[in-house]
Structure 1
Amino acid sequence: GQDIDTVIADAKKEGVTEVTKNEDGSLTYKMTKAKHKEMMQELEKSILETIEETKNSKDYVSIKDITHNDSFSEFTLVVDKAKYENSMDGFAALGLGMSGMMYQIYNGSDPDTKVKILIKDEATQEVFDETVYPDALEQEGTEENTQSK
């Protein structure tokens, strides 16, 4: 929803050397390898901070631990299943899914990259739920459109 020229100007202030507007509305950034490495380190730090905040938050009482792979394409939320199923703690998965997708895109992964969120019961170690982003976002949009008709 931001003005595209402002986004481009901000990117250039941050060290992006060239920005190309693509026909589909997306932008392609060119930058030095050093700038890309710095940006990826900042993204990783932000994701790790989000994970720690989520694990320690009183807002997500069912979440006991969160693990991830090195590329942030898969996260596992270890939860108290009974508390999880009676809460809104699933919203934590949405934030992790979005962060993982952003990391993948900025790291040059295929634009169709998926991020998998596994929900595992702390007591039994059983994975009882799985969400894949961005597929889950598309499904929600379809469900909302169906329900509103």
Structure 2
Amino acid sequence: MLKRFVVLLLLLSLMGACSSEQPTKNAEDGQGMEVEKGLLNVEVTLPPLFFEGENIDEVIANAKAEGIKDVKKNEDGSLTYKMSKAKHKEMLDEMKDTIIEQVNELETGEDFPSIQTVSYHKAFKEFTLQVDKEQYENSFDGLATIGLGLVGVYYQVLDGTDIEQTKVMIHLEDAATGEVFDSMVYPDALDE
């Protein structure tokens, strides 16, 4: 479980546009994460691991400056954010835009030349990368699947999916034949 938190922490640091305001919530055992949605507000608790080496007062001030109603420091070092449903939706929309930008960059950028197209499920539970198979297999373009897997996991957690139930399926399809030649599930693939 700690490995998953470390992965999510890495994702947070990579997603600069979605800074410390990103909500997730510890489950009762303090290890899982979930979003608690009420009638008017959403409460989110980020575990202490997310704030190692950070000035907590600064983190709280930044969150409030971004429109978070209240931030409470808990005894275990976690922070509970309270925000309006509108703010939560805004954060989900920003995350969605960031993921779509990442997908567009995979298709048009030069970093992963074997990737031709990327299709995805609207809740980012599944991605299909159409690739030049030979070029893909002889490159490091597989790193793109890690990025997509992580942002898909993070989006689902932010949307309220229990971390233990969160899965992102990634398929690799040969552009020449249409054959799916590999599939992986994140975050499970990180343990392999």
Normalised TM-score (structure 2): 0.66
Give runs of aligned pairs for residues 106-125 of structure 1, distance below 5 A: 106-112=158-164, 113-125=166-178
Aligned to 2:190: 137
**Identity, % of aligned positions:** 53
Q: CA RMSD in A?
A: 1.9
Of 71, 76, 87, the match for 1:19 = 71
Q: Distance in 1 between matches of 2:119 and 2:76?
A: 35
Structure 2, unaligned runs of 5 or more? 1-51
Of 54, 63, 68, the match for 1:3 = 54
Give runs of aligned pairs for residues 1-149 of structure 1, distance below 5 A: 1-3=52-54, 5=56, 6-20=58-72, 27-112=79-164, 113-139=166-192
Structure 1, unaligned runs of 5 or more? 140-149
Q: Distance in 2 between matches of 1:15 and 1:41?
A: 15
For each residue in 1:69-123, what CA deviation from the matched residue of structure 2 results, as whole angstroms up to 9, or x when unmatched?
0101111111010000001001111111111111111111111201111111111
Aligned to 1:145: none
Q: Distance in 2 between matches of 1:22 and 1:101?
A: 25
Aligned with 1:37: secondary structure? Answer: helix
CA drift of 1:138 comes to 2.5
Aligned with 1:96: secondary structure? Answer: helix
Q: Distance in 2 between matches of 1:107 and 1:54?
A: 24
CA drift of 1:21 comes to 5.0
Normalised TM-score (structure 1): 0.83
- The aligned amino acid for 1:61 is P
CA drift of 1:27 comes to 4.2
Change (3 A) 1:26 1:122: farther
CA drift of 1:25 comes to 5.9
Aligned to 1:147: none
CA drift of 1:20 comes to 4.6
| Structure number with higher relative contact order (C-alpha < 8 Å, ≥ 6 residues apart) | 2
Higher mean alpha-carbon deviation, 37-46 vs 5-14, is at: 5-14
Change (3 A) 1:76 1:85: same
Q: Distance in 1 between matches of 2:130 and 2:74?
A: 40
Higher mean alpha-carbon deviation, 23-32 vs 127-136, is at: 23-32
